[in-house]
Each structure stands twice: as C-alpha cells, then as structure tokens.
Amino acid sequence: LSTKSNKFVLCAVFTSVVSFFITSSYVSYYGILFRAVQSGDVSLKITHCGVCYADVIWTQNKHNDSKYPLVPGHEIAGVVTEVGSDVKGFKVGDHVGVGTYVNSCRDCENCNSSLDNHCPKSVFTFNSIDTDGTVTKGGYSTHIVVHERYCFKIPDGYPLAKAAPLLCAGITVYTPMMRHNMNQPGKSLGVIGLGGLGHMAVKFGKAFGLKVTVFSTSESKRDEAINILGADNFVISSNTEQMESLKNSLHFIVDTASGDHPFDPYLSLLKVGGVMAIVCFPSEIKVHPASLNLGARTLSGSIVGGTKDIQEMVNFCAANKIYPEIEIIKIDYINEALSRLVNRDVKYRFVIDIENSFK
C-alpha cells in the first residue's frame, strides 16, 4: 500500500438499507482512497477501533445527515507507518491514537487554547466534510492519514486494544471531571449509568481517590459495579428510599445516561455548591430552578476534549494502569455488535480487531 500517492485501503463501508438489523447486506468491504501524506501528516496502520453509539447514529441515519457510503469509527489505535517531512512528534513504529475529530481551523480562540473540539470548523473523524471537500472516513478501515495535531501517542506497554476506547469514551468523562476539579481525594462522586462512558467515570473516580456511587436502573449491574469496577456504593435510581438517603451527600455527579430521565432527583443529591456534569444527549432537560438555586448547584455540559486533555488523559491511564473493560470482535460481527449496543448488551465497550479482520 503506497503512501507516496493516494492510499488504497480496505474499509467496512455502510450503505443505506431499510431493514437495518434484519439483513446483513448493509455492510460491505471495499477499497477506498485516502489522501497522500502531506508534510504535517501522520499515516497509521489501524490495529483496533472501538465501537461507539455514534456509529449506530450515523450508520442508521438518525440525524438525517449520513453521507453514504459511510465508514464509521472514531476510537482508533494503531501504528505509525509514515510521517510527513515537517512532523516532529512522531516516528515510524510509534503507537498512536486518533479520536473524534481530525481537523479544525487551528487559528481561533478555541484552537489556540487546545480546545479544538469546540472549534466552529472542527471536522469529525467520519461523515464530515474536510477542508479539501472530501467526506471523512473513520476507523473501520486498515489505514488512516491525519494531521499530527490530531494524533496522540500511546505509551509503550499500553495495549492498543484497550487504548482505542480512551479516544472517545475515556476523554468524554475525563474532560468534565478535570474541568470541575473532581480529582480531589476524599470527596464523593455519583455516576449515572454504567455503560462505556459510565464505567470509565468510575475508574477515573477511584483513581482520583473519590468515594464513588453508581446509579443504575438495573440491579444486575450491582456486582460488577462493586466487585469489578471498585465502586463504593450502588443505588437503584427508581428506589425512592435509596435516593432520599443520599440527599445533600455528593460533591459531584457525572451523568452518562443517554435515555430520557429526570434531573431534579439527582440534583437534590448534591451538596451546596455541587456540580452535575452531563455528557449524554437526552431529548430534553427539565430542571426546577430551586434544584439549582437553593443549593448553589451547577448543571454543566461537556463533549470529548481538546488535544492537550486527550494526551494528558492517555498518559494518566498508562501511568495509573487504568484500562477500559472491552469485548474484542472481528469486523464480520459488526452487525450483531451494533444491535447489541442498542440493546445495552456489552461489557463495556466493543473493540474491533482491525488488524486481523481484513486478512
């Protein structure tokens, strides 16, 4: 596969069909062209790619903006195969990751503050229009070419399969936790939902020395929350008595529950001055003003993280031996995996073994 000109690579390409999960014909394998390596680019051979709910959204055209044929995947880990002439931070053979965006204007206030994810011209890793007018293709592929600014070093010894989910799930919860100083040992954290994002919030909370309470609608997750992830407490959110017992007891809450749910009951659990960070997208948020005003509480939103935060988070995970809980699959299982993801039947992140899927 030559990188001296446009790169011809194998991808899992999704096309629009009516009966999405009934037939397996919607995903096919094609060769597509990636751009040639420019002076500031890094080319990498993808070894692993995490499966995010974003892949479901755009393969199913839930936002009515999917650009077929579509190659999903924005939790990418791999090995550098070539670098451009101006690249200083990477060399051939480095282990690296690529996250949810692959370009930005690089000159606005946000970009100059390493908050490229908030740049008005930020370009998503897949299903987005890049500056050259092409549609971006994601990690369900053997290779990808990105500017070095949006490529992140994975420290030696950190498994590439486990590194992949850090680039979306990990950074999505790490960013608001650091922004709101949730890394204060001895303080208390509530985590709503125990999926791909929620389980990483628990892991970060314990690494920060927090007392962590998990809120879930499923009793079946109690054992895993306590005995596998190390949470200190587990609460069924629909149990009024359990919720009442925790009023005014938490310093922080990270909300990862994507489905519609009430917010006032959770806000009442915060101490005076407490912060609840939302990293999910329910259809609406309804809050009584008293839930915020009477306790001087803060309700905050967040998405992924900037380039500086991403590298910091990856380094933190490597230094503290924090690893996502994953289920490794081959690309030919992706139909079933996406269906299981919709049904919340995954512990806790699917990761595609790209390296061994396209042989």
Give 305-343 pLDDT, tens digit per residue. 999 999 999 999 999 999 999 999 999 999 999 999 999
Percentage of the chain surpassing pLDDT 70?
Answer: 92
Q: In this predicted structure, what is the pLDDT of residue 210?
A: 98
**Cα 65 from Cα 129, distance rounded (Å):** 12
Q: In this predicted structure, what is the pLDDT of residue 7?
A: 54
The pLDDT confidence band at residue 3, using thresholds 50, 70 and 90, is: very low
For range 218-235, the mean pLDDT: 95
The pLDDT confidence band at residue 218, using thresholds 50, 70 and 90, is: confident
Q: In this predicted structure, what is the pLDDT of residue 136?
A: 95
The residues of the chain that CATH labels 3.90.180.10 are 17-168+305-353
Structure tokens at 314: 């990856």
The residues of the chain that CATH labels 3.40.50.720 are 170-301
Q: In this predicted structure, what is the pLDDT of residue 24?
A: 35
- Please check whether residue 182 is in contact with residue 211, taking contact to mean a CB–CB distance below 8 angstroms: no
Q: Which pTM value belongs to this model?
A: 0.92
Mean pLDDT of the chain: 92
Q: In this predicted structure, what is the pLDDT of residue 26?
A: 54
Structure tokens at 135: 């549609």
Q: In this predicted structure, what is the pLDDT of residue 190?
A: 98
Instruction: Tell me the per-residue pLDDT of 77-99, one tens digit each, with 9 for 90 and over.
Output: 999 999 999 999 999 999 999 99
Q: In this predicted structure, what is the pLDDT of residue 179?
A: 97
Q: Which CATH class is domain 17-168+305-353?
A: alpha beta
The pLDDT confidence band at residue 258, using thresholds 50, 70 and 90, is: confident
**Cα 126 from Cα 51, distance rounded (Å):** 13
Instruction: Tell me the per-residue pLDDT of 37-74, one tens digit each, with 9 for 90 and over.
Output: 999 999 999 999 999 999 999 999 999 999 998 999 99
- Please check whether residue 120 is in contact with residue 108, taking contact to mean a CB–CB distance below 8 angstroms: yes
Q: Say which amino acid occupies 329.
A: I
Q: Which residue in this structure is represented by tokens 């519609």?
A: 260
- CATH superfamily placement of domain 170-301: NAD(P)-binding Rossmann-like Domain (3.40.50.720)
- For residues 9 and 59, the model is more confident at 59
Instruction: Tell me the per-residue pLDDT of 247-256, one tens digit each, with 9 for 90 and over.
Output: 999 999 999 9
Q: Which of 173, 205, 185, 125 is nearest to 300 (CA)?
A: 173
pLDDT(358) > 90: no
For range 148-172, the mean pLDDT: 98
